[in-house]
Amino acid sequence: MNFELDEPYVEIQRQAREFARSIEPIAVQADEMSEIHPEVYVALKESGLSDLMVPAEYGGRLERLDPLAICLVREVLMATSAHADSMFALQGIGSYAITVAGSAEQRDEWLPKVARAEVLPALALTEPNAGSDLKSVTTEVVPTADGLSLSGTKSYISNAGAAAFYVVFAREESGYSMVLVPADAAGVSVTPTPVLIAPHVLGDVHFDKVRLPLTARLGNPGQGLGLVLATLGVFRVSVAGAAVGLAQAALEEAVRHTRTRVQFGRPLARLGPVAQMLADCWTEVEMTRLLTYRAANMAVDDPAASLNHSSMAKLAASEAASRVVDRCVQMMGRYGLVRDSKIERLYRQARPMRIYEGASEVLRLGIARQLTEEVQ
Ligand SMILES: Cc1cc2nc3c(=O)[nH]c(=O)nc-3n(C[C@H](O)[C@H](O)[C@H](O)COP(=O)(O)OP(=O)(O)OC[C@H]3O[C@@H](n4cnc5c(N)ncnc54)[C@H](O)[C@@H]3O)c2cc1C
């Protein structure tokens, strides 16, 4: 057993830290934006980290995507900027179905651009009336005389309006399919979603009888759900990585504050209940980091088979991050409440993590199902 990261992973962490340092002065501004921050985008391109999201054959860095490497980058980025973390993560989340099931032409056209961060992708699953219950989507792809026609509305789509293409989950006669839709196709339009407590580049994407060639399908008709699962297999655990990074950053804020602020003649950190909160936070950060790294390491070999562990890591780390950051605000008293202070930003940013890419309750159902099926 070895709990140390191998040298290539350490190097990836180093690159991620450099990227994070370069955007630190604009992080507050970027994290309040519901549109792409141009300087963060340039910094992402210059970091070269987007090449982790594409296999080497199409201009990426590694032979295939490495969930542990992605996890490590997200851990570092989330500690500085949720905006940067999301921009990095979407490069993979939005393009992975092309990597797995795209035709040679689709891969050649898009993946090298994703690797160089020349384009931003988007994955469009959610609809106004279909969130956790993905099978209830109504967006539909139907055959026409010379191709396909796509109609429906997707909501709360990351990178909407900025993306060069949308990978869209839709129903058709044979089941659920994925289609690749260039953002400039006729009939595609974007409207803004409400601004969230922790702003995010989001929009609703409307497809009004969008005409597509038959070759717009990713994989075969009916392969859509499998492609969603494949994407989650690689990327769900990376949300856990981001949550660990967020919790670590919150704890560092609380440590700094409680070591120097004196009340009742002692630093806060030496007052019993505060010391207990610090200890509980550190313990939770370490526990969830270990679970996350293990799940990510399992996913390196077989993302689909380890989805259950990825779900556990995402559940544990996102729930822990919320607890940790809440305690940290408590330890910092009124200073923890200052709008746009680091801790206040982290407090808001922790909340959505328990909802997107599998709400905690939905993950628990899946984990329990797997556990009980295994013992039958
Ligand atoms: C910041 C952000 C970015 C996003 N980006 C994207 C994106 O890029 N692409 C995309 O397609 N979507 C995106 N989404 C949407 C996201 O995937 C959905 O919010 C998520 O799937 C949950 O769906 P919902 O919000 O409709 O909640 P609902 O499905 O309405 O669920 C609400 C709550 O009900 C409970 N619940 C639901 N089902 C069950 C169940 N079976 N058992 C027990 N409890 C249950 C849970 O507590 C859940 O939180 C994003 C959302 C956010 C907040």
- 270-303: pLDDT as tens digits: 999 999 999 999 999 999 999 999 999 999 999 9
Give me the pLDDT at residue 145, please: 96
Q: DSSP string spanning 75-90?
A: HHHHHH-HHHHHHHHH
1 within some domain: no
Tell me, yes or no, whether 194 and 309 share the same domain.
Answer: no
Determine the pLDDT at residue 1: 82
Burial class (CB in 10 A: 0-12, 13-18, 19+), 241: buried
At residue 231 the predicted structure's pLDDT band, cuts being 50, 70 and 90, is very high
Same domain, 82 and 202: no
Question: Among the three residues 187, 204, 222, which one is the final residue of a domain in this structure?
Answer: 222
> Do both 22 and 54 map to the same domain?
yes
Same domain assignment for residues 101 and 161: no
Q: Is 70 exceeded by the pLDDT of residue 376?
A: no
Q: Which residues contact 48 (CB under 8 A, 6 or more apart)?
A: 15
* Atom number in ligand 1 closest to CA 122: 8
Cβ-contact 187, 60 below 8 angstroms:
no
The first and second tokens of residue 188, run together, are 């595609």
Nearest CA to ligand 1 atom 6: 157
Helix residue ranges per DSSP H, 133-179: none
pLDDT at 374: 60
Q: Which atom of ligand 1 is nearest to the CA of 125?
A: 11
CA distance 53 to 64: 9
Q: Are 254 and 365 part of one and the same domain? A: yes
> What confidence score (pLDDT) does residue 140 get?
98
Q: Is 16 helix (H, G, I), strand (E, B) or coil?
A: helix
Structural domain ending residue among the three candidates 222, 240, 272: 222
132 C-alpha to center of ligand 1: Å?
A: 5
> What six digits make up the tokens of 206?
């409307």
Report the candidate in 14, 373, 15, 34 with the shortest Cα–Cα distance to residue 203: 34
Q: Do 346 and 246 reside in the same domain of the chain? A: yes
Mutation test of ligand 1: which of 86, 95, 125, 126 has the most ligand atoms closer than 8 Å to its C-beta?
126
Which domain CATH number covers 131? 2.40.110.10
What is the average per-residue pLDDT within 329-344? 97
Q: Per residue in 52-110, pLDDT tens?
A: 999 999 999 999 999 999 999 999 999 999 999 999 999 999 999 999 999 999 999 99
CB atoms within 10 A of CB 215: 14
The mean per-residue pLDDT over the stretch 12-33 comes to 98
DSSP tag of 359: -
pLDDT in tens, 140-189: 999 999 999 999 999 999 999 999 999 999 999 989 999 999 999 999 99
**Ligand 1 pocket, residues with Cβ under 6 angstroms:** 123-126, 131-132, 156-158, 200, 202, 352, 355-356, 359, 361-362, 365
SS (H, E, C) 88-138: HHHHHHCCHHHHHHCCHHHHHHHHHHHHCCCCCEEEECCECCECCCHHHCC
At 345, the amino acid letter reads R
6 CA distance to ligand 1 centroid (A)?
35
Question: Once rounded to an integer, what is the mean pLDDT over residues 101-121?
Answer: 98
Tokens found for residue 372: 């009980």
Q: Which atom of ligand 1 approaches the CA of 126 most closely?
A: 11
Ligand 1 atom 47: the closest Cα is on which residue? 361
Claim to verify: residue 159 and residue 243 sit in the same structural domain: no
259 and 195 in a single domain? The answer is no
Note the pLDDT of residue 183: 98
Q: Tokens at residue 147, please?
A: 């191709």
Residue nearest to atom 37 of ligand 1 (CA): 132
Same domain assignment for residues 169 and 98: no
Q: How many whole angstroms from its chain centre is CA 221?
A: 27
The alpha carbon of 354 and the centre of ligand 1 are apart by a number of angstroms equal to 9
Q: Give the percent of the chain with pLDDT over 70.
A: 99
Q: Identify whether residues 272 and 333 lie together within a single domain.
A: yes
Residue 166 domain boundaries: 121-222
Closest CA to 35 of 102, 87, 92, 80: 87
Residue nearest to atom 35 of ligand 1 (CA): 361
Atom index in ligand 1 nearest the CA of residue 354 equals 49
Which tokens sit at 64? 């295939």
Clarify whether residues 371 and 238 are in a common domain.
yes
Ligand 1 probe mutation, 362, 365, 367, most atoms within 8 A of CB: 362
- Nearest partner of 66 among 20, 19, 99, 110, judged by Cα: 99
Note the pLDDT tens digit of each residue in 238-266: 999 999 999 999 999 999 999 999 999 99
- Is the CA virtual torsion 95, 99, 101, 104 positive or negative? positive
**CATH code of the domain in which 315 resides:** 1.20.140.10
pTM of the model: 0.97
Q: What is the mean pLDDT of the chain?
A: 97
d(CA 17, CA 63): 23
For the CA of 94, the closest atom of ligand 1 is 8
Instruction: Output the pLDDT for position 373.
Output: 87
Name the more confident of 285 and 376: 285
Last residue within a domain, chosen from 170, 196, 222: 222
Ranges assigned E (strand) in the chain: 121-124, 140-143, 148-158, 165-172, 175-182, 188-192, 202-212, 262-263, 266-267
pLDDT digit string, tens, across residues 309-326 = 999 999 999 999 999 999
Q: What is the predicted pLDDT for the residue at 375? A: 53
Q: Ligand 1, closest atom to CA 154?
A: 11
- Which atom of ligand 1 lies closest to the CA of 159? 8
Distance 115 CA to ligand 1 centre (A): 28
Question: From ligand 1's centre to the CA of 278, what distance in Å?
Answer: 31
Identify whether residues 357 and 253 lie together within a single domain. Answer: yes
* Residue 2 covered by a domain: no
Our count of domains for the chain comes to 3
Determine the residue type at 187: G
Confidence of residue 2 (pLDDT cuts 50, 70, 90): confident
Distances (CA, A) of 197 to 158, 171, 200, 330, 351: 15, 32, 9, 19, 9
